[in-house]
């Protein structure tokens, strides 16, 4: 086995649940000037978007059997999304195509240091917990269940504690990347954390979640993550150019560096980080430090291309970086 893979029976299946849409990524001088001012930017690309879709793509490219549960519209953007997912090796049999509803669309205004996102939700909020449970019940064997974009899907969010509890009873390992809450209320997670094996926030999301759950703002990141871990999940944190780290309820921190790269676009880097960690689990990597390293390598390399899926890591990439 290479790249730390230890499972002789092949990787566990991964089911990703959440948003699938298109991203229009604009790069350069992307700060808008109103007053009908026209400005020229460096480049623009129409690419696969949605945290769940990007994560599913990243897991599939790391040679893990991956399927996506999502909803798209019966329109041009929906066709584009499904074709892009298939091209990445994702099973789209559980993606519903909704007549009369538009596929979601995000406009990403991207600079090397940061980005802003404008989103038309479309079909994104219409995925239900019942649909997810139906898909899981039809599976012949459990694997890893990953949920993304919690706050963009209120119907799914309300049902998620029951969905996760049922999944864990069936033997699924559960994980959640909430992504940012556009309303900045961060509600409902107290009922979810106890049904999770893994929570995968970035540092800003970590602090927002902890604050909404009543944790003091003057505590450091590791202490906050440890307190969240005591509520149920191991907390695996994306830390930008510094890589990432994870912590359990005992407070012992496991860290891994990122890869030094010339950043093209940070869109989807956190989702590719998720994909690296989930793929390590699926491949049977037992060492937590190595799992976090898979995540940081995958997240770093994804910034070399445009959009979330333009340059996602392969197993060959991981093997080269882990051998350094």
| pTM of the full structure | 0.94
For residue 113, the model assigns a pLDDT of: 74
Asked, for residue 25, whether it belongs to a domain, the answer is no
**Percent residues over pLDDT 70 in the chain:** 98
Q: What is the CATH number of the domain that holds 296?
A: 3.40.1190.20
- State how far the Cα of 59 lies from the Cα of 298, in Å rounded to an integer: 10
pLDDT class of 15 with cuts at 50, 70, 90: very high
Indicate whether 6 pLDDT > 70: no
Domain-embedded: residue 316: no
Measured CA to CA in angstroms, residue 63 lies from 56, 60, 143, 159, 224 at distances of 11, 5, 15, 31, 34
Structure tokens that stand for 130 in this block: 């019942």
> Is the pLDDT score of 4 beyond 60?
yes
Predicted local confidence at residue 3, as pLDDT: 59
Q: Distance of CA 148 to CAs 70, 77, 179, 231, 304, Å?
A: 10, 20, 7, 19, 23
pLDDT tens column, 28-46: 999 889 999 899 999 999 9
Is the residue at 24 inside a domain? Answer: no
201 is a domain residue: yes
Domain that holds residue 251: 14-19+50-103+124-311
- The CA distance from 157 to 135, in Å, is 17
Q: Is 86 domain-assigned?
A: yes
Reported confidence tier of residue 1, pLDDT bands at 50, 70, 90: very low
Residue 116 lies in a domain: no
Q: Could you tell me if residue 70 is inside a domain?
A: yes
51-61 vs 76-87: helix axis angle to the nearest 10?
A: 30
Average pLDDT over residues 3-23: 85
Does the residue 7 lie in any domain? no
Give me the number of domains the chain comprises.
1
């Amino acid at each position: 086995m290479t790249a730390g893979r230890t499972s002789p029976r092949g990787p566990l299946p991964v089911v990703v649940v959440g948003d699938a849409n298109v991203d229009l990524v604009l790069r350069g001088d992307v700060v808008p000037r109103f007053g009908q001012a026209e400005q020229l930017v460096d480049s623009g690309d129409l690419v696969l978007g949605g945290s769940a879709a990007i994560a599913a793509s990243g897991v599939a490219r790391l040679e893990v059997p991956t399927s996506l549960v999502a909803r798209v519209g019966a329109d041009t953007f929906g066709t584009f999304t499904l074709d892009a997912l298939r091209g990445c090796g994702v099973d789209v049999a559980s993606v519903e195509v909704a007549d009369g509803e538009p596929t979601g669309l995000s406009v990403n205004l991207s600079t090397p240091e940061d980005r802003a996102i404008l989103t038309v939700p479309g079909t994104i909020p219409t995925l239900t917990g019942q649909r997810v449970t139906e898909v899981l019940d039809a599976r012949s064997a459990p694997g890893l269940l990953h949920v993304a974009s919690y706050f963009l899907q209120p119907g799914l969010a309300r049902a998620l504690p029951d969905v996760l509890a049922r999944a864990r009873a069936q033997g699924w390992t559960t994980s959640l990347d909430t992504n940012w809450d556009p309303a900045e209320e961060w509600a409902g997670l107290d009922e979810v954390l106890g049904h999770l094996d893994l929570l995968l926030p970035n540092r800003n999301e970590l602090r927002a979640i902890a604050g909404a759950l009543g944790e003091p703002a003057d505590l450091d990141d590791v202490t906050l993550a440890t307190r969240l871990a005591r509520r149920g999940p191991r907390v695996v944190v994306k830390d930008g150019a510094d890589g990432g780290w994870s912590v359990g309820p005992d407070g012992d921190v496991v860290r891994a560096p990122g890869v030094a790269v010339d950043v093209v676009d940070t869109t989807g880097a956190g989702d590719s980080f998720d994909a690296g960690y989930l793929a390590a689990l699926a491949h049977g990597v037992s060492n937590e430090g190595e799992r976090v390293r898979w995540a940081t390598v995958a997240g770093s390399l994804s910034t070399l291309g445009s959009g979330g899926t333009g340059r996602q890591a392969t197993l060959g990439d991981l093997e080269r970086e882990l051998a350094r």
